[in-house]
Structure formats: C-alpha cells, structure tokens
Structure 1
C-alpha cells in the first residue's frame, strides 16, 4: 500500500526536545557552547492547535508550507534569548503548523562561518535535527550574498585565488554537511541592484556591493551553482531576491541571466521571490504571470520570505480593515504560487509577530506575520489555510 509523504501524515507525536550538537572548528570537533536543554513536554497553549486545523495538514501533499526559524542576526540584540532554543510554545507551533523550515540567519556567513577556519554548525544542526524528528524538510539560506558577511572576510587581504578557494570551501562544506537534508538552497541571493536599470552588485561593500562579484567577476555565479551541485546533486539550486514580484527590470535581469546560464549548462534549478510586502503599496498583480515565465524555462519557483507589514501607531493594534487587506495580500500570493506548476514552496518569513524582523528594520511598521505575539491566528492565517485546503481537494 502506498503511504502518504511524511509531511501529510497525521502528527501523532511532536518531538520538541533536542540535544546540543557539536561546534566544528577546522577539522576538529569540540564541545558545543552551552545550548539550553530542550524539553519534550507540551507547552502551555498547545491544546489550541488541532492537527486537522493546521496549515501543514491542509496543504496539498506535494506542497511545502514553511516558515523562517527565528535566531541569529537581529535577534542577538533583542531582549529575549534565542527563540528556537528557549521558547517551547514557539517550537510547538513550528512543528505543528509547517512542513518546511528555513534558517532565518543560522546558515548565513557571519553565523555559520564566523572565523576563517571555524564553522559553527550548532544552530543549523539543531534545525535539521528538529525537522527530521517532526517530519519536516529544510530550505537552505544562503550561500552567496553581499550582506551579513563576517569581518574576517570583508576586511581580509585575500588574493583572487584565495577568495575563490574560500567561497568554494564554504559552499561545499555547508551544502555537503546537509546533503540529503536540505531540499532547496538559495545559492545566489540579491545579486542585482534596485532601480530602473539593475546591474550586478560590483560596487563597494558599504554601498551594497557583493565581495564575490566585485573581486571575482560575474563568472563566479556559475561556479557557485556548480560547486553546490557537486556537493549535493539532488538539492534544488535557486536565485532569490526581493522586489521581483512583478515583471519588471529587476526580475527581467534575472530572467535574462538565467537563460544565459542554462545555455552554458550551469545547474540552475529555480527562481525564488521573497515577497516582503507592505499595505502601503498595491499588491503585485503580475506575480502569477512572473512566476509562470520562469516556470516556462523549466525552472522550479518559490515564494520564500513573505510577510505583509502594516502601518500601526505605537501602542495600538491593527484595524479590522488593515487585517483584511493583509489577509488578501497573503492569500493572493499563495494562490499565485498554487496556480503555477512547479511552485511548490511557500514560506512565511516568521510565524509570529513576537519574533518578526519588520519592526526592527521598518520604523512605524509591524504586525507583518500570520500570528500575534501570543500565537493567536490572524485572518491571513485562516484565509491561507482555506486556500491550501481547496488546492488539496482540487489535486486529488
């Protein structure tokens, strides 16, 4: 008898506990830093979530409904401990609601490769282990980016040959470690500038330049994809960016570049749209058409970092009208993805406002996720869940 994929089977048991995992330093394995012991008990409020009412239960069997796992980056400076290791109810929601997890910052260079000869795998290993125990899959983010690079890299005095070797080692070490555990990798992230005439980010770091493009030239993009493919031939390798929801100069720059790379036999498998939206602006009505043109190239597509931020005065809550608009934007984006063959990954960039990046980086805006600080589900959550359930029914 054929069994259902792991992420669609009933969740009869959620495993929330993890043991500390090692910190790999060069070729030696040293004891991990003291990560809090994670408990297996059901957290307060767990009874609010019923299996058949969750996003993952209602998703089609071939569809990844995911979230970013909060940690690293700006969270280090917030007045709370690491969310993933310390918040039981948060972990419970991650396991119950989603069948795909993305490290928000835990696989970015500054976190996972903090010194030249040091790889810190503790948090990423924990996410991978948690996902396996809870029958989830993992998206990898990200291998080649202009931001959140460690000082040793950006301020180092490296030759071109040394930089090339550093990048190859990083990609093959990280991708190789999670071979078979990560189904998609954002290989090249945000490589084009904004504006009406986007170009590759070859400028100074302080102006948003990409060290790899500046020092090694555009040919290094193809090398990055080849190295990742060598490390894990089964992983889907993608470009990822913001501001590319519609057919516009920036998304067209990717469209043209990808065609060139495919003609050269470079293993580019997909194009991912982040989807950081705001109710200040209209919904990107060309989203489905844009996803479709990349699909027509034979690529997988994905929406990887969606949130919908709102203008709410300090100390106040969103109005019903604002939440209705937010719900519409989330659902229209989901519907666009569901309508395109090969768009089988949709990731909200944070499950709860409690740990959202938006208020930290967008003054006066917030409430951007599908759950409140207390994990109450918003209208956006329910509207998406209904659309997933309908798609599940339609695909039977």
Structure 2
C-alpha cells in the first residue's frame, strides 16, 4: 500500500473511528492463505517435493502461504523401500525436518497404493506373503515417523470409477480385507496420527463416492481405525466442481470422520478458474469437519501438469485471480469480511 503524502483530514479520521466503534465484532482480514485458513480453524497446505527446498523463491512462497506439507514422492513405496527391508528415509526426513522447523503440519503420503510399487512387491505371488510385506512396510514407514506426522494417507485409490474395487496387486492377491489390514497396521505403528483414506473423483455423489462412503461407514461401525477421508479435488473441463460437493463432504463428516481436500487443483486460468476454486473451497468451509485444504503444489512452475496451469500461483510466482478468490472465501468465512 502507498503511504499517504499528507495527514488524514480530521473529518475522515472521525468517520473512521465512528465506523470502527459501530462494528466492534469486525476483524482484520488475513493476507496469506495459511493465516486466513487458520482463522477458520483449518490448515492450508501444498504438495511439496524435497528437491525444491533449496530453491529460495520456492521456499519463500512455501513458508509465507502454506501451513502443511505433503511429500510429493518421498514417502512412496518405490522410494523408501526399493529393496525389501532396506529403508531409505533421507528425502522424506528432509521434508519432515523442514516442516517441523517452521511449525508446519505434515501429511504422510502414502502407505499403501497400487502405483509406484517396487518390482519385488509386484512379484510376490502369495497373498499371505504380500500381506506380511504390506504390514512390515507400514510398520517400517509409519513407525519411523511415529509422532511426527499429523495425518497419514493410509490407502490411496482402492476403488475404480465404477465403484468396484480396483484390480490392484493387493486386491487381486489379498482380497477386500487388504484396506482394513493397512489401517490396522498404521494404527499399531503410529497411534497418534490421524488415519485417512484418500481418492479422486469422489467429490460429489456418485458410484465411486458411494463405495468409499460404504467402506468408511462399515469401518466406523466395526471400530476399524479411520479418522479422515481425503478428496483429491482434480477439476477440469471434463470433471467440474460438483454442485453437491458440500452435501457430499457433509455426509462423510456425519459418520464421525474429518474430511480433507488433499490435492486441489483446477486446470485453466482467469475468472473461470477462480470461480471453480472458490466453489470447492467454499464447500469445505460449509462443513465444520472439513479441516484441511491442500493444493497440488506451490507454483505452476514445477507442477507435473504445468501446461494446464492448475495452481493458485503461476510460474513467475504471481498470485492468480484464483488465489485471491480462495483468500477472499477464507477471509469471509473467518471474519465476515468481503
């Protein structure tokens, strides 16, 4: 803001004081995403690769705008346990250390997923031996970070778009029970972390979302440890933000679990992108148990789908209209400011 070149006129000062006294409930708007989200009782985060922690412009923006980090690949099976029983946490440790040094929350991602598996896992033909490997992997990874990760994506994407179980190596050789086994192993390894199921294209009502809902409802009813459900939030011209997103989030929350937006991104630009972001964030803000909003990255510059410009901050670190639409939605929810 430009400084005034002269003193404020007495009449203007009096009017300003009168307005402030007349509205004592008003609060100042926050100027960063993390502060605005915190004012609503939520955390605002981003997916972060460890390799960018030495890039000054990147970390400056990360520190200023985000209060949570999700490792991009650093905790995935083919990175941390490329050889059975031999764990390499160097990159993941770097991210967690960085987050802790700045008071950021950490989302562990991911303990069990059909993708990015080392060959030795895929080649286990016995269901019993694969289950043992799954349990040992979760014990090794979640146990290493015990007490340092706020929430774990225990299982990613166990369902296909039709709502049927995805034909993964775990589903094929262990059966339906593999998801429950993963959550039980995660609770044993780190009972302090919140345990989440995470998936994409589940933002509104539909067969896939219904299947995840049934899984969570069953887990809650039987006492299987689950604390949260993550909605990845990939939106584009073929998959728009659904009008029933808030209602869908609410039905999950009504089961007694928290709901998170975990990798929110909207391809496009300008006001159309800004409006879509605002609708998605507002859906979360309408549900008290929607406690985390995280976008897919800090800046388009390093995003895997950079050509689609899906994030809030562009490749030159300029804030897009979408950034301001999200900031306004958070501030309005926190303060009534607009």
The structure showing larger relative contact order (alpha-carbon pairs under 8 Å, at least 6 residues apart) is: 2
Secondary structure (helix, strand or coil) at the match of 1:68 reads: strand
Match in the other structure for 1:140: 108
Aligned to 1:220: 178
| Cα shift readout 1:216-246 (whole Å, capped 9, x = no counterpart) | 1111211111111111212111111111111
Confirm or deny: 8 A CA contact 2:124 2:130 kept in the other structure: no
**1:394 Cα shift?**
5.5
Q: Structure 2: where are the runs of 5+ without partners?
A: 1-28
CA distance in structure 2 between the aligned counterparts of 1:356 and 1:380, rounded to whole angstroms? 16
Deviation (angstroms), 1:60: 2.8
1:94 aligns with 2:52: no
- 1:376 is displaced (CA, Å) by 0.8
Q: Could you tell me which residue of structure 2 aligns to residue 104 of structure 1?
A: 72
**Matched residue, 2:301:** 354
Aligned length: 308
1:373 matched to 2:303: no
CA deviation profile, 1:104-132 (whole Å, cap 9, x unmatched): 11111111211112211111111111111
2:264 is aligned to 306
Which structure 1 residue ranges, 5 or more long, are not aligned? 1-50, 72-81, 203-209, 311-321, 360-364
2-side partners of 1:386 and 1:124: how far apart?
A: 33
Larger radius of gyration: 2
Q: What is aligned with 2:277? A: 330
Deviations along 1:136-157, whole A, 9 cap, x unmatched? 1101111111111112211x34
> Could you report, residue by residue, the CA deviation over 1:174-205 in whole angstroms, capped at 9, with x for unpaired residues?
1112122211111111001113xx21123xxx
Contact kept, 8 Å, 1:107 with 1:124, in 2: the verdict is yes
Paired residues for 1:1-396 under 5 Å? 53-61=31-39, 62-70=41-49, 82-84=51-53, 86-154=54-122, 156-195=123-162, 198-202=163-167, 210-310=168-268, 322-359=269-306, 366-393=308-335
Between 322-331 and 242-251, report the one with greater CA deviation.
322-331
- 1:87: Cα distance to partner? 1.4
Displaced runs of 4 or more, over 6 A: none
In the superposition, the TM-score normalised over structure 1's length comes to 0.74
SS of corresponding position for 1:118: coil
Q: What displacement does 1:59 show?
A: 1.9
For residue 298 of structure 1, report the CA deviation from its aligned partner.
0.7
In 1, the alpha carbon distance for the partners of 2:137 and 2:154 equals: 12
Asked if 2 retains the 8 angstrom alpha-carbon contact of 1:60 and 1:389, the reply is no
